[in-house]
Chains A and B, each alone.
Chain A
Amino acid sequence: MSPLRRRLLFGIPLALAVAGGEAFYVILRRMQANNYDPHALPSPLLGKRPPAFALPGTNGMQGFANTDLAAPPKPMLVNWFASWCVPCLQEAPMLAKLAAEGLTIWGIAYEDDTQALAQFLQQNGNPYQRLATDAAGTTAINWGVYGVPETYFIDKTGIVRWRYAGALTDDVVARYLNPLLAKYS
């Protein structure tokens, strides 16, 4: 092997490391600038309308169907939750705060029983304007729900713009929800 080729060959590891380092640098900068989230789970619903469904209400509240989400007067959230889920419990104060600020939140209770749900709402407050129940869990499958709690942001044209899997926290609201509300209101 000629000396030059040998030199080039020995430079390959460095070149690879530099390229990798550069990519990590860009990723980290974009994470700081909030336009890259390695933990985001893609949702098949993004940019689409929710699939057809019609769920009954529960605990004396009105249920809803996909047609009710076709054109809401202002952007809103659909929140999947369950009384048996611990993160939902942690999320409850944040939902109550958002509801108090005037955001429309509709809830879907996932595989839950009426009595436990009533107790949950009594203890943690009820942020929902409508509350449906998906006792069989089939609508959840059609939505691609990953686990509860999960929150969908629906704009005025009825299109899902954002999905968040996990409890809503101050950080999530500041980072994602507030910019969305500013954009789609």
Chain B
Amino acid sequence: MIPELGHFALACAVALAFAQGVVGIFGPSLRDARALYATPLLALSHFAAIGLAFLALVWSGVVSDFTVENIADFSSSAVPLLYRITGVWGNHDGSILLWCLILSLCGAAVAVAGGGLPASLRARVLGVLGLVSGGFLLFTLTVSNPFTRIWPPPLEGAGINPILQDPGLAFHPPVLYTGYVGFSVAFAFAIAALIEGRIDAAWGRWVRPWALISWCFLTGGIALGSWWSYYTLGWGGYWFWDPVENAALLPWLTGTALLHCAIVVEKRESLKAWTVLLAIATFSLSLSGTFLVRSGILNSVHSFAAAPDQGLFILALLGLTIGGSLLLFAIRAPVLAATGIYAPISRESALVLNNVFLCAIAAVVFTGTLYPPFANLLFGIQLSVGAPFFNQTVLPLTAPIILAMGVGPMLPWKRADLLPALHRLWLAGAAALLVFAVLTASRHVIAALGLAGGAWVVVSALTDLFRRRFSTLSRSALGAALGHIGFGVSVLGIAGMTLAVQKVVVLQPGQSTTLGGYTWTLQDIHDAPGPNYTQRVADIVLSEDGAPFLTLHPSRRFFAAQKVITNDAAIHTNGFQDIYAVFADEPATGGAELRLNRHPMAPEIWFGGLIMALGGFVSLSDRRLRVGAPARRRHKPEGVVA
């Protein structure tokens, strides 16, 4: 019964979404006030309908309703409650429903918070969101329905993929999707502006908070995903340049560029067409990232196996959304003229530089990700593009960004002198040189360069904060500085990780080995119980100069239902270093095969991501940026034509 209700709600949502699309896009040009009033209501009811459908699916998961194929295939009654809920979006069909839920939530947010927007702009924005949502809901309803029933129902479900049974992964998809899908609002604003043929400073001010909030979630989602792969997969790595990771990185890069150039539109009314193109590109990359990965074209460890016919449906949807918006861009954007002019050395130019390099990195990552399938198609050769390519191409492009990040915030708008700005940065420069000098002494040039770059970014952002004095500091400036500091901290972490040491050893209980200045002793191997797995735990004692200071308990978990063994890494962190141990195997000869790692600065990678997202939220709380200019709205009731 409940799944049927969910199915029905899903069907209603499709109808409501298309109604929202048609009324929202064509209503304003008909000059029909009813259309302007109706669109926000349609957006809210569309959200309510998907919400109902989603709750129905979660309910089926909670009560283990195995007549629903999705639940029978990916859950079981032995799975703990939390994972019966989160497992709903741990598979292809459910995750697309979650995706649609967040998209409709964005629409509802614009409907509620967009009271200060011109009514026709709001209707058009909601209309664009409605059409996109309608397309993907139709996909869910027709070829990827999470409410498909099976009869007779199995007595027990197949169970969740053990690797997904983890709190990090439970919350990674919703956060990441919010980031992806949030850019739909910036996209809808861009399309609405193209339809209206007008972009001004106000438009820049309306778009920025939406782009910023999705950027915060995307940053958080990527950091969570990276952290998850670091501590669950047991490889001790945090970024693998896997197509799915690249798919998340691409909209992050263009979204970061969008954030920065929307400032130029807001302050200086320049770079309009470019900002619109970035808004379209960012959401297009989010869409492609979510869906091309599922089409089976890209080879990835994130296997959401999907049938090729689903792929064609998705491709048609992507073609309509991306192709349609770029066609509109080609027709309408040439009339958008810049009014502000600026000198080659100015804040604007620094932001253009930021955009050029961010987009260059995006282009490189895009090419590297898509080259293997395209090369196979065009030339019939099979190859894979791996981490070495990305490291060698992306790192050199990051260097100018790191340099410019320090100088840019010091420059005034319109016209600037480089020398006074550089003069203020003497401390940052000295810090970077010092770090570099200390580390080159120990002959790690790459690490030294990276750490010096990180120090440069962090110290220059701090200098900027102190220069402006805290009392007069706006929250958006504080947020921007925090964002830069966060990036610098991540750079420090990434650079520090190049100094990591690793060792694979087989130890018998009682034996020890040395690594990274510590003595690692395998004390014991024993069994321990678990909810739906059994596990073997190794007790490893670390000591320094003979004095034990830490015991780690890495384990091997055996999931009987799926016949899968996972390695649960034991990680001890002190904030500046991770000690990381994996119980890899029990060889036939007895003892334990252990992978031992010492990772200097590793926590800074995710800590930096957290600071970046936090900086975004601080900036978002700035009054000027708050959604929908509240000062004007207070005098009018909700939804009245402005």
What is the interface of chain A, defined by CB distance below 8 A to chain B?
3, 6-7, 10-11, 13-14, 17-18, 20-21, 23-32, 36, 38-42, 86, 89-90, 113, 116
Contacts and interface: CB of A to CB of B under 8 A. Distances in A.
Nearest to B319: A21
B329 A28 contact: no
Given A25-B315, A32-B312, 9 more contacts: A6-B334, A13-B326, A17-B322, A21-B315, A27-B373, A38-B372, A42-B382, A42-B383, A113-B588
B308 A10 contact: no
A39 B329 CA distance: 36
Contact of B333 (A3, A10, A26): A10
A7 B377 contact: no
A14 B327 contact: yes
Contacts of B318: 21
Contacts of A25: 312, 315
B330 interface: yes
A31 B308 contact: yes
The 8 closest A-B pairs by CB, nearest first: A14-B326, A42-B382, A11-B330, A32-B308, A31-B308, A28-B311, A6-B334, A14-B330
A6 to B, nearest CB: 5
Contact of A17 (B295, B326, B333, B565): B326
B376 A36 contact: yes
B297 interface: yes
Contact of A89 (B308, B376, B383, B563): B563
B315 A38 contact: no
Contacts of B309: 32
A32 B421 CA distance: 59
16 contacts: A13-B281, A13-B329, A14-B326, A14-B327, A14-B329, A17-B322, A17-B323, A21-B322, A24-B315, A25-B315, A27-B297, A29-B312, A38-B298, A39-B296, A42-B383, A90-B563
Contacts, number: 81
Nearest to A116: B588
Interface residues of B, number: 38
Given A23-B374, A25-B315, A10 B273 contact: yes
A36 B376 CA distance: 9
B277 interface: yes
B600 to A, nearest CB: 32
A178 B565 CA distance: 33
B2 interface: no
A38 B563 contact: no
A75 to B, nearest CB: 23
Nearest to B318: A21
Interface string B487-524: 00000000000000000000000000000000000000
A23 B377 contact: yes
Summarize A's interface: helix, strand, loop or mixed: helix
Contacts of A89: 563
Nearest to B336: A10
A36 B295 CA distance: 13
Interface string B312-338: 100100110011001101100110000
B296 A31 contact: yes
Contacts of A86: 563-565
A26 B312 contact: no
A86 B562 CA distance: 10
Interface in B367-383: 370, 372-374, 376-377, 382-383
Contacts of B330: 7, 10-11, 13-14
B297 A24 contact: yes
Interface of B: 273, 277, 280-281, 284, 292, 295-299, 308-309, 311-312, 315, 318-319, 322-323, 326-327, 329-330, 333-334, 370, 372-374, 376-377, 382-383, 563-565, 588
Nearest to B563: A86
Contact of B295 (A6, A28, A30): A28
A118 B213 CA distance: 60
A59 to B, nearest CB: 16
Contacts of A21: 315, 318-319, 322-323
Contacts of A23: 374, 377
A18 B281 CA distance: 14
A92 to B, nearest CB: 13
A38 B311 CA distance: 14
Nearest to B303: A39
A27 B329 CA distance: 27
Given A10-B330, A40-B382, A28 B273 contact: no
Contacts of A113: 588
Contacts of B370: 20
Contact of A26 (B298, B311, B377): B377
B326 to A, nearest CB: 4
B131 to A, nearest CB: 18
A90 B563 CA distance: 10
Nearest to A14: B326
B323 A18 contact: yes
Of the candidates A18, A20, A30, A36, the one having the most CB atoms from chain B within 10 angstroms of its own CB is: A20
Contacts of B280: 13
Nearest to B373: A38
B292 A24 contact: yes
A10 B377 contact: no
B334 A10 contact: yes
B327 A27 contact: no
A91 B284 CA distance: 40
Contact of B308 (A17, A28, A39, A41): A28
Contacts of B565: 86
Nearest to A28: B311
Nearest to A90: B563
Contacts of A26: 377
A24 to B, nearest CB: 6
Of the candidates A23, A26, A27, A39, the one having the most CB atoms from chain B within 10 angstroms of its own CB is: A27
A7 B327 CA distance: 11
A29 B295 CA distance: 12
Contacts of A30: 377
Contacts of A11: 330
Nearest to A16: B326
A41 B295 CA distance: 18
Nearest to A31: B308
B289 to A, nearest CB: 14
Contacts of B319: 21
A13 B372 CA distance: 22
A43 to B, nearest CB: 10
Contact of B299 (A7, A20, A39): A39
B615 to A, nearest CB: 30
Nearest to B312: A28
Contact of B329 (A10, A31, A41): A10
